[in-house]
Amino acid sequence: MRRPTLLLASLLIAILGLMAAKSWLVQAPPLRATNQATEFDATRAKARLAVILGDQRARPADTAADDKVRGHIVDALREMGLNPILRDQFASNELYKQRGVSCARVRNVIATLGPPDGKAVLLNAHYDSTPVGPGAGDDGVGVATLLDIASLLKDRPLKRPVILLFNEGEELGLVGAGAFLADPLSRNVDSIVNLEARGVRGPVNMFETSRPNAAPIGVFKAAVRNPVANSLSTDVYRLLPNYTDVNSFAERNWLTLNLAPIGNETRYHSAGDDLAALDPATLQHMGDQTLALAQSLANGAPKTGGGERFFMDIAGKTLVVLPLALGVALLVILLLAAVVIALRRGQLVRGVAIAFGTIFASGILAWIALAVIGAFRHGMFWRAEPVWTHLATYACVLVAAVLLIVTIGRQLTTSQLRASCWLVSLLSAR
Ligand SMILES: [Zn+2]
C-alpha cells in the first residue's frame, strides 16, 4: 500500500473506533460512595428492590408471582410508617398506537404523602413485568426509586400532596394506568413524573413531555442537576410506535415528564433484565432526578402555557433552552449564511450532491448489509450485537463518503466541501 493510502485507511479506522466508543462516553453520573441523609441512596434502593423481587421470577399482572411482589411493596411502605391503599379493579384500556383493547384484574398500590387536600403530584411506576423476565429494570428501577423517595419525603413538610402509584398491568396494555383514571384520587392530580425503563444502564433520559413543553421543561431545567434530554429525541419518540402509561394519562393534560434509561437495550423485555445487570449508577440518576422533580412540584403549582421550546443538554451538565421562534430565526440566519458562503466558494452543486449522496448511499449500503446478514442469521441480530451493528452502520457512511469524494468530489477543495456539508446539515436540522 502507498503511504497516503495507508495513512487514510488508519485515519478511517481511528474515526470508526471513536464512533464505536461514543456509547461508552455517555454515562450516568458516578455512584456516590456515601450519601447525605436527604439524598437518594441507590445502594439502599437496590437492596430494597432485591427483597421485593425475591427469586426474580417473571411477574405478569394477576399472577401469584406478581401478588408476592405487591405484598413486598406494601410491607416496605408499612415499615416506613405509611398507610398504603390497595385498589382491586377490573379494568380495560385501549391499546395506544395499535388496534385493540386489553382487560385484566389489576391491583394498584397507592401511597400519599404531604397534605391531604389540594392539587397533587403523581409519581408513577409499574410493578408487573412481561412473562419472559424478572423486569429488574422494567420497571424495578421505577419501583425502587418510588420506595426510596417515599422514605425521604415522608418526613418533609410538603406544600402539596405527592401520590406514589405502583400500578399493575402496564405490560398488558397500560391497564393499571387506565384503572387509576377511574380512581377518585386521580381527580386532584395536575402533574406527573413517569418512571420507565428500556434498558438497565447508562443515563436516565427525559424523553417525553406534555405539550406545549415550556412549562415541563422549565420545571426540569430548574430542578435537575444532571439533565440528559434534547428536543430532537422527544420529537423522534413521538413518531415511534412505543407507548408508556403517559399515553393513558394524556387525556387529563397533566404537566408531564417521562424518564427512562436505554443503555444495554438488549436486556429489555428479556430474561436478562435482572438485578445483576441493573447498574446502581443508573438507579441513582433516576432517583436524584425524580426526588428533585417531586420536591420542586410539591413546593407549588407548576406554571402552564408558555409555548414550545428547543432544548438540549450539554454533556449531561446543563440544559440549554431556547424559545421555538428564536431557534427557528437562528436556523434561518445560519442557513442563509451557509448558502452565501457555499456559493462564494463555488462547486455548490457537487458539494451538496456528495453530502446528500453519502446519506442515501450509506442507507442503501446498510440495507444491503442487513439483507445479506439476515439471509444467514435470523432474528433480531442487530439488537443482540449493538456495538457491531453501530460499527457496520458507521462503516457504511465512511465507505459511501470516501467513494463519492474520490469520484465526483475529486476537484473540490476542503473548504468547498466543508461549506456544502454545513449547508446540508443545516437543511436536515429541520
Ligand atoms: Zn415498562
Domain range annotation of the chain: 3-23+325-428, 42-316
Rounded distance from Cα 57 to ligand 1 centre (Å): 16
DSSP bridge partners of 125: 166
Each residue's pLDDT expressed in tens, for the chain with a length of 430 residues: 567 778 878 888 888 788 777 667 778 999 999 999 999 999 999 999 999 999 999 999 999 999 999 999 999 999 999 999 999 999 888 765 567 788 889 999 999 999 999 999 999 999 999 999 999 999 999 999 999 999 999 999 999 999 999 999 998 888 999 999 999 999 999 999 999 999 999 999 999 999 999 999 999 999 999 999 999 888 888 888 788 999 889 999 999 999 999 888 888 888 889 999 999 999 999 999 999 999 999 998 888 878 999 999 998 999 999 998 898 898 889 889 888 888 888 888 888 888 888 899 999 999 999 889 888 888 777 777 777 888 888 889 888 888 888 888 888 888 888 888 888 888 776 5
Chain-centroid distance of CA 270 in Å reads 18
Q: With contact defined as beta carbons under 8 Å apart, do 244 and 314 qualify?
A: no
Cell of 65: 408471582
- Identify the pLDDT of residue 379: 79
Query: What are the backbone angles phi and psi of residue 129, rounded to the nearest 5°?
Result: -120, 175
Measured distance CA(185)–CA(3) in Å, rounded: 73
Q: Which residue matches cell numbers 442487530?
A: 382
SS percent in the chain: helix, strand, coil, step 5: 50, 15, 30
Measured distance CA(416)–CA(346) in Å, rounded: 7
Q: Is 314 exposed, middle or buried (0-12, 13-18, 19+ CB in 10 A)?
A: exposed
Rounded distance from Cα 126 to ligand 1 centre (Å): 7
Three-class SS of residue 138?
A: coil
Rounded distance from Cα 278 to ligand 1 centre (Å): 14
DSSP bridge partners of 255: 191
Q: Residue 346: left (phi > 0), alpha (psi -120 to 50), or beta? A: left
Rounded distance from Cα 345 to ligand 1 centre (Å): 52
| Annotation says 170 is catalytic | yes
CA terminus-to-terminus distance, the chain: 42
Alpha helices in 300-379 (DSSP H): 324-345, 348-376
Query: What are the backbone angles phi and psi of residue 247, rounded to the nearest 5°?
Result: -60, -40
- How many residues are listed for the chain in this entry? 430
Rounded distance from Cα 141 to ligand 1 centre (Å): 10
How do beta strands 101-113 and 201-209 pair? unpaired
Q: Which residues 6+ apart lie within 8 Å of 288 measured at CB?
A: 29, 39, 40, 224, 225, 226
Query: What are the backbone angles phi and psi of residue 121, rounded to the nearest 5°?
Result: -100, 130
Q: Which residues 6+ apart lie within 8 Å of 263 measured at CB?
A: 23, 199, 200, 201, 202, 203, 279, 282
Neighbours of 119 (CB within 10 A): 15
Q: Which residue matches cell numbers 439476515?
A: 374
Q: Which residues of 199-213 are buried (b: 16+ CB within 10 A; e: fewer)?
A: bbbbbbbbbbbbeeb
Measured distance CA(200)–CA(282) in Å, rounded: 7
- Identify the pLDDT of residue 264: 82
Which amino acid is located at 413 in the chain?
A: T
Rounded distance from Cα 170 to ligand 1 centre (Å): 7
What CATH fold (topology level) applies to the domain 42-316? Answer: Aminopeptidase (3.40.630)
Task: State the catalytic residue, choosing from 79, 94, 168, 170.
Answer: 170
Query: Is the preceding peptide bond at 212 cis, omega within 30 degrees of 0?
Result: yes
Rounded distance from Cα 260 to ligand 1 centre (Å): 9
Q: With contact defined as beta carbons under 8 Å apart, do 104 and 175 qualify?
A: yes
Cell of 370: 442487513
Rounded distance from Cα 169 to ligand 1 centre (Å): 10
- Identify the pLDDT of residue 309: 93
Measured distance CA(230)–CA(208) in Å, rounded: 10
Cell of 402: 470516501
Neighbours of 131 (CB within 10 A): 12
